[in-house]
Amino acid sequence: MTNTILITGASSGIGRATARLFQSQGWNVVATMRSPEREADLSDLDRVLVARLDVTDEATVDAAVAQGLDHFGRIDVLLNNAGVGAYGPLEATPMDTVRRQFDTNVLGVLRVTKALIPHFRANRAGLIVNVSSMGGRIAFPLGALYHGTKFAVEGLSEALSFEMAAIGVRVKIVEPGMVRTDFVDRSLVFSNDERLTEYQPLVERLMASTAAGQASGSDPLAVAATILRAATDGSDQLRYVAGSDAEALLARRSAEGDADFQGSLRAMFGL
């Protein structure tokens, strides 16, 4: 029987690469996105259903899940990939931006997961893969919102793994480092107020560091390959690191401990 994966945020980057990879491996793919009418390439592939899903809109979540089940009869894997990034001094960040960040990255994961749990429970099988980030285990300056959401994804995923075991469902977390995508252009919201002069040197250093990291980041297909491994290795492994930068930084964080690791970041950013 052909397995089926439902992917959120499949219009670009990691989501799009994952949809293509799973389809090439013989899977059925429900590729969901906010604006499916703009999608052409995925729609032309065999065994791919493109559906509208906005993780902040419960009605579209329910409709996309129903559409996927009606089309393929079964969903075996959920990939919670959709996300946005909000950075900048908290003092300069509007509360609407705060709400959107958590509504998308945290409540969105919970909405889509809740919509599929009854199907998984009925089948006594299923897999939930949540895309976190190396930024779900380490934090960088001016990222209180983004890292706050990714730390939340780590915690909710780990907790959920226990209760899902009671119904035969596994939960896994994929933690990419920097990835060569258009995430910065499409999904990054940077709040700043140049009148808050104390923060501006830090803003400049972070933007320079982000640009350099983006240019040397992993190919989205490499992250997709890690997601495929998580979905198919049959193990109970919880976390999967994707990208040499993530592997190096997380290993360093583990070896150095809080004081030394944070001290090195303070030095890097001139704090």
- Distance from chain centroid for Cα 156: 13
Model pTM score: 0.94
132 has catalytic annotation: yes
Q: How many domains does the chain have?
A: 1
Phi-psi region of 243 (alpha: psi -120 to 50; beta: other; left: phi over 0): left
Whole-number pLDDT of residue 213: 75
How wide is the angle at C-alpha 24 spanned by C-alphas 23 and 29, nearest 5°?
Answer: 5
Highest mean pLDDT among 103-112, 208-217, 262-271: 103-112
Instruction: Tell me whether strands 28-33 and 48-52 are parallel, antiparallel or unpaired.
Output: parallel
Whole-number pLDDT of residue 187: 64
Range of the structural domain that residue 203 is part of: 4-269
DSSP-derived secondary structure letter, 8:
S
Find, among 178, 196, 183, 185, the residue nearest to 90 by Cα: 196
Catalytic residue among 150, 172, 199, 218: 150
Tokens 């899903």: give the residue: 53
Catalytic residue among 87, 146, 199, 240: 146
Least confident of 67-71, 91-95, 154-158, 267-271: 267-271
The rounded radius of gyration (Å) of the Cα atoms in the chain is: 19
87 has catalytic annotation: no
Q: How many CB atoms lie within 10 A of CB 42?
A: 21
Find, among 245, 247, 198, 165, the residue nearest to 90 by Cα: 198
218 has catalytic annotation: no
Catalytic residue among 11, 87, 132, 199: 132
Least confident of 91-105, 120-134, 200-214: 200-214
Query: Domain holding 130: CATH number?
Result: 3.40.50.720
Find, among 246, 230, 270, the residue nearest to 5 by Cα: 230
Question: Does 25 have pLDDT greater than 90?
Answer: yes
d(CA 249, CA 126): 31
- Distance from chain centroid for Cα 97: 18
